[in-house]
Structure 1
Amino acid sequence: MLFFRKKNTDTAPAADLLAFMHTDIHSHLLPGVDDGVPDLATSLHFIEQLREMGIQKIITTPHIMMDRYPNSVNTMAAPYLAVKAALAQQNMSIPFHHAAEYYLDEQFEALMTSPLLTLDGQMVLVEISFMSAPPQLHQWLFDISALGYTPLLAHPERYSYCHKNFELYQQFKQWGCKFQVNLLSLTGYYGKHIQLAAEKLIELEMIDFIGTDLHHEKHLRAITDIGKNKKLRQVLENYPFGNAAL
């Protein structure tokens, strides 16, 4: 794997690498609020690299997971404004917004009493346990829909308990979920079994959106390596992801 370096070196990523995506709808680029970027300088660096790879708009999605990352509009306001101000100061002309990645558990129920942060005024990015699907999932998805939102399930390919029971994915769809695949899942970054699940979801045209889920430098290096994978790039560029409409 080639290690990432600053621009103007021969390891810089292809300028059109992520142009097919247009808008990155899943990342963790607000400094110091979750397990994503630790500081403003790293946030700006990652935004610049995404822009150079062809991303035209970013909707970053900090975790809202009350046990670990009890974020809210208030806790995210200052970091978000700091990034916006720094982008303007550096004349970095890329639209930068934030929504959230909500963890669905019992504490999420209280959050639904206030307006949720959305990607487009309607769509809410959600994630569930990697260990097992919560028994209340159907009810929570129904409640989200009843409030006028559309649930977008983050990285469904990473929920390994679905791999041997693929009908669960069909069930999630029937319950009103749209699906967002992680870009790096399709490279084998998270493991072969997750790659195979992502590929099957793509083959069945069950995926609606794609995101980088960018957290740290290792993710960024792996993304730049996609430039060497011509077969994957062809798949990505030909699949009808809905990102450009956001």
Structure 2
Amino acid sequence: MGNYFTDYHCHLLPALDDGAVDVRESLDMARTLSSFGFATVHCTPHLIRGGYENDPPRVIRAVQLMQRRLDEEGISLRLVPGNEHYLDQYLPELLPGGLRAGNSRYLLVEVPFQAGPELLRPIVQTFSKHGLAPLIAHPERCRAFDPAAKKGGLWGALSLALGKESEPDLADSGIVELKRSGCRFQGNLGSFAGYYGYEVRERALLFLRHGLYSCLGTDAHSGEKLWDMLVAGYAVVESVLGEAATHDLLRGTQLDNGA
């Protein structure tokens, strides 16, 4: 495939959060990612006040140390400092000095999995005041973006999956409105591979078919079964988009273009 993919969401840095536990595991993950075709990895440890206090200076220093180890080991991977910012009451105060996704205006944001749409309404305006926009991590895993919610939650999702209801029209849905207003969305390769369950996989495919993703990430927390997940997730995305469009998504071409 060549090495030109970009992983926009990865917990590769050692001992900062619930990701890699030590340098040895980080190196194992890095070798797998490089072998698969990734050239750039955005290191995005959790930033949660009262939980994971991974402020930008700490992350930047950790990236510098880890990059040095990768270079010493001959692993062709460029690390970029970032954060997975938790969407809570503390997020607005973190925005002015927040680590962006490379040279873009986007910050990776994790929406609480069980949160409703009410948390998301003010998000774009808050970001825009600082010249920023949210890159929302794995929306397929979040209840706030569940297109089956209006159809009865779990039963709606199952009815859709079993073919008892037509695929929902996302034209006026909350997630499409957020994209129109400036949000971008990062899908997890593991979601397409079924690593988070059937419902998440179906939502991921729905969002993929509707062109809602601007980039992908591994969201890798360890080296265990990482290669298998990459292969399976890639195969599913390619089966929907074809090779060229899959490569564009894995390179973050749309995100770079602001699309």
Q: Same fold (TM over 0.5)?
A: yes
Identity of aligned residues (%): 29
Q: 1:34 aligns with which of 17, 27, 35?
A: 17
Aligned equivalents of 1:190 and 1:244: distance in 2? Answer: 23
Aligned equivalents of 2:197 and 2:92: distance in 1? Answer: 32
What TM-score do the two structures reach when normalised by structure 1?
A: 0.83
Q: Which moved more, 1:40-49 or 1:81-90?
A: 81-90
Query: Aligned runs of 1:5-24 on 2, under 5 Å?
Result: 16=1, 22-24=5-7
SS of the equivalent of 1:201 reads helix
Pair 1:110–1:91, CA change in 2 (3 A): same
Q: Does 1:185 align with 2:191?
A: yes
Residue 175 of structure 1: aligned partner = 181
The offset of 1:132, in angstroms, is 1.4
Residue 229 of structure 2: aligned partner = 223
SS of the equivalent of 1:30 reads coil
Aligned equivalents of 2:237 and 2:102: distance in 1? Answer: 28
Structure 1 gap segments, 5+ residues each: 1-15
Pair 1:187–1:93, CA change in 2 (3 A): closer
Residue 243 of structure 1: aligned partner = 251
What TM-score do the two structures reach when normalised by structure 2?
A: 0.79
Contact 1:128 1:134 in 2 (8 A): no
Structure 2 gap segments, 5+ residues each: 150-169
The offset of 1:232, in angstroms, is 4.5
Q: Does 1:96 align with 2:104?
A: no
Q: 1:58 aligns with which of 34, 41, 50?
A: 41
Pair 1:158–1:219, CA change in 2 (3 A): farther
RMSD over equivalenced CA pairs, Å:
2.3
Q: Which moved more, 1:183-192 or 1:78-87?
A: 78-87
Aligned equivalents of 2:3 and 2:199: distance in 1? Answer: 25
What is the CA deviation profile of residues 110-162 of structure 1, one whole-angstrom value per residue up to 9, with x for unaligned ones? 212x3210112311111111111363432232111221112111001001343
Pair 1:219–1:126, CA change in 2 (3 A): farther
The residue identity in structure 1 corresponding to 2:98 is L
Contact 1:184 1:223 in 2 (8 A): yes
Equivalenced residue count is 227
Aligned equivalents of 2:28 and 2:41: distance in 1? Answer: 14
Aligned equivalents of 1:215 and 1:191: distance in 2? Answer: 17
Aligned equivalents of 1:145 and 1:47: distance in 2? Answer: 34
- The structure whose residues are more often helix, as a share, is 2
